[in-house]
Structure 1
Amino acid sequence: MEISVVIPVYNQSTPLKLTLEGYCNQTINRNIFEIIVVDDGSDDPLELDEWKERLQIKVIRQQNLGRAIARNTGIESSDGELIIFNDADRIPCSEFIEIHLASHKKNGNCVVIGNPKELYISNLECRVNEILSYIKSGKITRFARKYLYSTVISHLFKEEGGTDSVIPWMGFFSGNSSVRRDDLRSAGMFNPKFKEWGFEHFELGYRLFHAGHPFRFAANGVNYHLAHQRNTSFYKEHFKYSASLFSEIQQDVRILKIYNFLVGELSLQGLEELFGGHSNTINSSEDIYFSSFNG
């Protein structure tokens, strides 16, 4: 087996089925990849018989331990040399696996970051058959909008996908990224101290970067996030807690400033300079800010 796609899921049965349909629609031969679904203690059992007949799927059920441990379970259960991370609510474009694989073959022992976009679909539960038809026909893109965070972070990368930034790990999306399994194991995989929604992906990306793995941005490696509303207090609370935990694990107080960047109080340039560098890809004449609360 060449590729394993690791998908953690918790009570997202409908989005998962749409995501799996996306994997049925890949341009690459289905015989070279497997799907590992890690059910992180969902309240109801997953009903995936239809997709098991069309894809090579392993379903692993564990008690609710959080996404970091769920992904580690998927890595340890994988047969593929290359691990692609995709969340249960992210529908891959038809070239998704092909693009990730091609980037690794071209660039060697690297970390590949894809390009997530957002889907805003009302009454999803009532429109499953409609959305399935859009996925099969390749027309799901008609709902897509740019993901603001990915757009901001893309400034750290050159047009051809490489980077000279000291913080490319800020673009390590656990819902759209790929790393060779041996490199994940050498880096220590996801830190199980992250139990809640948070920065387990940034922290692993930080370790991969400091272990010497180059980062690549694959602009065409798109998957589509089925957006769902969370209130502002949820994000602020989890940003602050996760930054604190990340900083404590790495013994680096600069990491606390990630919170300031995410709430729009610190520019991308300012964050990068804080870590001792400046990317030649960022236009120094303008500051680039991100805020998850700007609508």
Structure 2
Amino acid sequence: MTARVRHNDYGPVRPPALGGWEPSRTVTVVVPAYGDQEALDRTLAGLAAQTYPPRLLDVIVADDGSDPPLRLAPSAPARSRVVRVTSGWGRGAARQTGALAATGEVIHWLDADMILSREHIEAHMRWHHLIDYAVVIGDIRFVTSETFEPDEGTVQEYTAKVLESTDMLRDAGTSAYLVHTGATTSVSAALLRAAGGVNAGLNMAEDTELGYRLAQAGAVFIPDREARSWHVGESTVMRREKEVHRHNWSFLGDLVPELRWLRSHPRRQWLVPYVRVVVEATGYEDTRATVDSALAGTVPDVAVTVVGPWGKLTAERHSSLDDPLLDLRLIANLYAHEPRVTLAESAPPSAAPSPFLLTVPSGWTLGAETLAKLVRLADQDVTGLVCAALTETATGVVSARLERTAAYARARHFDGEPDDVVDELFGALWVGGGELGFTDVPEPLAGDPAKWRAVAAKRQEEIKVLEAEVAELRARLDEQPPPEPPRRNPLARLWGDR
């Protein structure tokens, strides 16, 4: 049975001491490599000396077009092989090639120029025996030469700051994936498949992008300082940080919607939406009001799925005005060329890789700031579910639901009602829909008016808060006794009235 981890707080899970447990899970170590046979030989020799049982460990070297081709030295682990990258090139293609060839229950990524402690793989794998949605991040120290003491070396500055400020990621909220690195990271093969595998088209930042998708698949990220490794020389990021960021940020904005600072443009469209909105197709006017209002708010990177029996719409002759499926046909006409709207026969089981899924009943419209408020509520405590009560009928409460993709993905690892499991692991919240700007009046906002009405509404809220504070201060002032008259300074005659 896998352990239950709330948010990213893996602290209550106690892994066994190194050397004091009996492993049973298999692991494939995937080593993407391009040239530098000498460094590869050193890394493979370190894998051959691991304390993890050899019968449970195999190695795949993914040769990314080296010339001459890479080979296995006699010092490599017995169960090692080289696979050639034949589709594409670069780190993403090599990692994906190796992952597709892997047979282990766990895949352990490892750069080809690493020096490993003997317990490195064992330290990783003890977590995977306890948590099947774990992503374990090894400890990397950068040293100046191949001869060093075990405690020597420096940690990359960004990683060190993040680990220190988040209690080793236990308080990292939704951003734990930002320290995910392909240099020494392990993940279950099943979780990797659920996340969609490695993006084979990326040659840089493929580990960050994969880390984000693993987070949406429900991963908990665990850095382990006992999974020690060393890298001779500085990393590319350490040597050319500004250039690396300039390169990577040109495409990460499309792929990782949580990097909000990369999406500052007010009208750009992005590959992965921040929120996936689902609306069931009913009447033409009601459906249009809901969909248009979702697209018109201050959160610009939104996509909408309209669910309906679209397969019933055929090109056969039909009455233009008396068609029994007229409303459905009008909705299809309206959004035929809107790239942010998808027509689907059923609701998507998950919004992944988008971090949020909002389900709204047809006929209810969102105010300009409604979606932004919902997301802020969810992010205050990394809440897994926010329900907005819209109205009550004879059959129950009608609500809009904002689901956190990562929370529901993790809930699928456990038995029980998904909402209950999400509440246990991430928390759930009910709020009044009117407070967030939901209304059943079909008057969707659009364009710049949406922006300025939202700003006006926000300022009105701020004014109310300030007025309440002023009233409270006046009440306190009225309760105070009148001040005593000032006492004359006996030195005033000497110094004057100063």
Q: Partners in 2 of 1:255 and 1:3 — Cα distance?
A: 37
- Pairing 1:76–2:82 present: no
Q: Partners in 1 of 2:106 and 2:132 — Cα distance?
A: 11
Report which of the two has the higher share of helix: 1
Q: Partners in 2 of 1:35 and 1:3 — Cα distance?
A: 9
Once structures 1 and 2 are overlaid, which stretch shifts more, 56-65 or 76-85? 56-65
Match of residue 200 from structure 1 = 206
SS of residue paired to 1:50:
coil
1:176-255 equivalences under 5 Å are: 176-195=184-203, 198-228=204-234, 234-251=240-257, 254=260
8 Å Cα contact 2:195/2:213 also seen in 1: yes
Q: Partners in 1 of 2:192 and 2:33 — Cα distance?
A: 20
Shift of 1:249: 2.3
Q: Partners in 1 of 2:239 and 2:48 — Cα distance?
A: 37
Match of residue 48 from structure 2 = 24
Match of residue 155 from structure 2 = 146
Shift of 1:104: 1.6
Structure 2's unaligned 5+ residue stretches are: 1-24, 264-375, 383-498
Instruction: Supply the AA of the counterpart residue of 1:225.
Output: H
1:86-105 equivalences under 5 Å are: 86-105=110-129
- Pairing 1:168–2:191 present: no
Residues 140 and 32 from structure 1, CA distance in 2 versus in 1: closer, same or farther, beyond 3 angstroms? farther
Residues 176 and 156 from structure 1, CA distance in 2 versus in 1: closer, same or farther, beyond 3 angstroms? farther
8 Å Cα contact 1:87/1:174 also seen in 2: yes
Match of residue 112 from structure 1 = 136
Q: Partners in 1 of 2:30 and 2:130 — Cα distance?
A: 22
Instruction: Supply the AA of the counterpart residue of 1:242.
Output: N
TM-score (norm: length of structure 2): 0.45
Q: Partners in 2 of 1:26 and 1:175 — Cα distance?
A: 17
**More contact order relative to length (CA 8 Å, sep ≥ 6):** 1
- Choose 1 or 2 for highest CA Rg: 2
8 Å Cα contact 1:7/1:35 also seen in 2: yes
Shift of 1:232: 8.2
Instruction: Supply the AA of the counterpart residue of 1:57.
Output: S
Q: Partners in 1 of 2:261 and 2:232 — Cα distance?
A: 29
Match of residue 158 from structure 1 = 167
Q: Partners in 2 of 1:229 and 1:207 — Cα distance?
A: 24
Residues 278 and 89 from structure 1, CA distance in 2 versus in 1: closer, same or farther, beyond 3 angstroms? farther
Once structures 1 and 2 are overlaid, which stretch shifts more, 56-65 or 11-20? 56-65
Match of residue 61 from structure 1 = 84
8 Å Cα contact 1:243/1:255 also seen in 2: no
Structure 1's unaligned 5+ residue stretches are: 122-130, 258-272, 280-295
Match of residue 264 from structure 1 = none
Q: Partners in 2 of 1:190 and 1:87 — Cα distance?
A: 15
Identical positions, percent: 28
RMSD: 2.8
Match of residue 45 from structure 1 = 69
SS of residue paired to 2:154:
strand
